[in-house]
Structure 1
Amino acid sequence: MNYVFISPHFPPNYKNFAIALKAEGVNVLGIGSEIYDSLDTSLKNALTEYYKVDNMEDYDQMFKACAFLSFKYGKIDWLESHNEYWLEQDARLRTDFNIDGFKNHDMVKIKRKSKMKDVFKRAGIPVARGSLVKTIDEALKLIKKVGYPVCAKPDSGVGASNTYKIKSFEELESFFNTKPPVDYVMEEFIQGEIHTFDGLVDNEGNLVFINSFVFGTGVMETVNDGLDQFYYNQREIPEDLKEFGEAAVEAFKLRGRFFHIEFFRKSDGDLVALEVNARPPGGLSVDMFNYANDIDIFNIYAKMVSGKTIEELSNPKYHCGFVGIKDKFGSKQVHSNEEIGLRFSDIMVSQGQIATVFSGALGNYAYVLRSPDFDVLRSASEYILERELI
């Protein structure tokens, strides 16, 4: 089996996919723009061949790389980056080389938030009221129905970049005067926690692994307001979240891949669908799957790809929490990294710098903790997040 791994070096923990795939007998072929000698040694050992391109944005170069690997090793059976940024390019390469998985025609419902709403609705899953708005008059008609505040976000976008909370007519005017020249979805602002339904689904639509994270603060607020981040997994996934999550996996025809589906849990307990992401959750979340469950999700994925039997998984053994700290002007953490590491050595599984590309949403420095007792996890996070003015 030939597996083409797009950008196998980033994020750094994704090298474990290549290592696990090779261990299961898969022929792993890498394409990226990094110099081969700069790749991690364990990643180089897992790759049968690495094809360097000068610019991964240049589709002609990516096409030629796939053509070369296909000519040398035979038909490409699987192509994946596990990366939101490359989803559309992955689909284009699968289309041109007739590789199983999402093709060009699948991308509209996967990348455009306005189309996601339609899919959620057809599946009977509640969504926030909203629509595409191209003019201020269209926005005012929507606001007349839902009231202020409203949320405006690019119809096709990654994360919370260029996303706005609009609380007045003056802010609405400013938004239309300064917004980027792309299509925007505007919708009622939903107050609540973000509860995710994440996992891995095989080519037949069977759920191989499921998980749920709870974010007390939304990614938009974390990015726009420069907030620190704390999120954690639920050891038992609520039945309503599981029901809507499974319905969404089927409605979006997610197959042979990771997924990360976001819902709002409102104060009245109801769920409202936010969006679907046809890739793993970002940052260190995939590692948190392992810490919470005492599993190797990379090996589980490799077994799925190679068609091998996967043992049924039980509920997580631990609550696993992520605490992300941002570098802020005017304040600092009360407690040092060394002090935190010593105090919570029994529940700390990792700590370290976060890649700059993720720092807006996740912070500049992160701690990952685990404990079977959520109160222990929450208490530790509060201690770590303490700040003082400077």
Structure 2
Amino acid sequence: MNFLYISPTFPKYYYNFCDALKKKGITVLGIGDTPLEKMNQEMKDSFQEYQYLPSLENYDDLMKATAYFIYKYGRIDFIASNIEYWLESEAKLRDDFNIARGIRGEAIEEVKIKSVMKDLFIKEEIPTAPYEMVTTFRKAKTFAKHHHYPLILKPDNGMGAMHVHKIHNGKELAHFFGEIHDYNYIMEDYVDGIVETYDGLCNSKRDVLFDSSMIFPTPLMDIVNGQKTSVSIIQKDVPKDLRQLGQKILRLFPSEGSFFHIECFRLKKDCAGYHKGDLVVSEVNMRLPGGHIPEVMNYIHHVDLYEMYAQMIQDDTTTQKAQRDYYGVNVGRRNNGKYHYKSREIKYKYQDQLVMVEHVPAVLSDALGDTSYVAKFKTMQEVRSFINECTK
């Protein structure tokens, strides 16, 4: 079995997927933009062979590198990066080389294009905020006339909170459309709620092998745009209604043999036609939560997601069972932030609870902060105390 892994060294932990696959006897072939001489030995040992490309953005080079591997090793059975940025390139490679497993063709739009995603939610009666494609100022004004400010403008094909805008009034709307933008935008009702995610791994039959859930007390849009301290909490267990809704969604989308990250809002008050406490779905992603979060899940749930993924690829199942004894909390501080407690004080006071302190790469720091403090606790009271002292 031949497995092509794209960008296996970013985020830095992802080479562990290659290592776990290789230990299963799978031939692992890597293509990435990190020169071989800049890798440590563990990374180098995780591949059968690796090709360096100065940029993975050049699809012709990516296709030629894949063709070389096929010439040398035979047919590629799987392609993955587990990163949203490369999902479209993966799908194109599957189409061009007729690789059956994974998302292909137009199916990629269901997990990349927000309007396609939302139309499917509406068709299947999945709760979601009303929206409209707004290619002109006139269309945006019409939508705003029939809905209440604030409203959200986001790229139809975008990632995370990049280029997402909260519009409070007609003046801000006019200003937005007075500027030149590189994206097609959708406009939707603002949903006042706490972000809850449904995260995990599906096998080829879309059965959930592992699941988890995070809470973001502050919306990611506000964290990124306001450069605020990033806080997320991994719940001990997934709430029943979130699990039911998440698994219904996974049956509608191309989730076979994939990690997933479904973002919802738990409403703080009645809005957008829904009631306080309801779950309203924002979007679906067929990849892991970003950065070092998979490592955090490993610590909190006492699993090995790298080995679990490799076993799913080989046997379509897992023998691991997640433990649900602890809450996890991730606080991402800013380098320019003024905090009452210094890093050394946090590390000393919580030395028994901290599981990692991580310096976040610049490309991920807008959402995750510059330095991430990850700890686990038995109670939410302890979680809140930790958050208060890290953010004070």
CA distance in 1, matches of 2:302, 2:45: 25
Match of 2:328 among 312, 317, 320: 320
Letter of the 2:88 counterpart:
E
Q: Aligned ranges for residues 264-275 of structure 1 at < 5 Å?
A: 264-267=265-268, 268-275=276-283
CA distance in 2, matches of 1:344, 1:162: 36
The CA deviation at 1:33 is 2.0
Q: 1:30 to 1:352 in 2, by over 3 A?
A: same
Moved more, 306-315 or 286-295: 306-315
User: Match of 1:333, SS?
Assistant: coil
Partner of 1:130: 131
Consecutive unaligned residues in structure 1, runs of 5 or more = none
User: Match of 1:12, SS?
Assistant: coil
User: Match of 1:379, SS?
Assistant: helix
CA distance in 1, matches of 2:289, 2:355: 19
Taking only aligned residues, the RMSD between alpha carbons, in angstroms, comes to 1.2
Q: Aligned ranges for residues 163-242 of structure 1 at < 5 Å?
A: 163-242=164-243
The CA deviation at 1:173 is 0.6
User: Does the aligned pair in 2 maintain the 1:151–1:163 contact within 8 Å?
Assistant: yes
The CA deviation at 1:314 is 4.4
Tell me, yes or no, if structure 1 residue 143 matches structure 2 residue 149.
no
Partner of 1:370: 376
User: Does the aligned pair in 2 maintain the 1:233–1:321 contact within 8 Å?
Assistant: yes
The CA deviation at 1:238 is 1.6
Letter of the 2:78 counterpart:
W
Q: Aligned ranges for residues 54-69 of structure 1 at < 5 Å?
A: 54-69=54-69
User: Does the aligned pair in 2 maintain the 1:119–1:252 contact within 8 Å?
Assistant: no
User: Match of 2:178, SS?
Assistant: helix
Partner of 1:286: 294
The CA deviation at 1:50 is 0.4
Tell me, yes or no, if structure 1 residue 5 matches structure 2 residue 9.
no
Partner of 1:89: 89
User: Does the aligned pair in 2 maintain the 1:123–1:248 contact within 8 Å?
Assistant: no
The CA deviation at 1:339 is 1.0
CA distance in 1, matches of 2:260, 2:322: 19
CA distance in 2, matches of 1:144, 1:70: 56
Q: Deviations over 1:244-291 (max 9, x none)?
A: 100111111311110100001001101111001111001221112111
User: Does the aligned pair in 2 maintain the 1:190–1:264 contact within 8 Å?
Assistant: yes
Q: Deviations over 1:300-355 (max 9, x none)?
A: 11100111652262452211110001133xx5111111111010001000003110
Q: Structure 1 length normalisation: TM-score?
A: 0.96
User: Does the aligned pair in 1 maintain the 2:103–2:254 contact within 8 Å?
Assistant: no
Q: 1:116 to 1:319 in 2, by over 3 A?
A: same
User: Does the aligned pair in 1 maintain the 2:156–2:184 contact within 8 Å?
Assistant: yes
Q: 1:233 to 1:179 in 2, by over 3 A?
A: farther
Q: 1:309 to 1:165 in 2, by over 3 A?
A: closer
The CA deviation at 1:138 is 0.8
Partner of 1:258: 259
The CA deviation at 1:31 is 0.4
Partner of 2:273: none
Q: Aligned ranges for residues 112-127 of structure 1 at < 5 Å?
A: 112-127=113-128
Question: Identity over the aligned pairs, expressed in percent?
Answer: 36
Partner of 1:39: 39
The CA deviation at 1:122 is 2.6
CA distance in 2, matches of 1:372, 1:90: 40
Moved more, 366-375 or 255-264: 366-375
User: Match of 2:315, SS?
Assistant: coil
User: Match of 1:306, SS?
Assistant: helix
Q: Number of aligned pairs?
A: 384
User: Match of 1:124, SS?
Assistant: coil
Consecutive unaligned residues in structure 2, runs of 5 or more = 269-275
Q: 1:186 to 1:309 in 2, by over 3 A?
A: closer
The CA deviation at 1:236 is 2.3
User: Match of 1:51, SS?
Assistant: strand
Tell me, yes or no, if structure 1 residue 155 matches structure 2 residue 156.
yes
User: Does the aligned pair in 1 maintain the 2:223–2:366 contact within 8 Å?
Assistant: yes
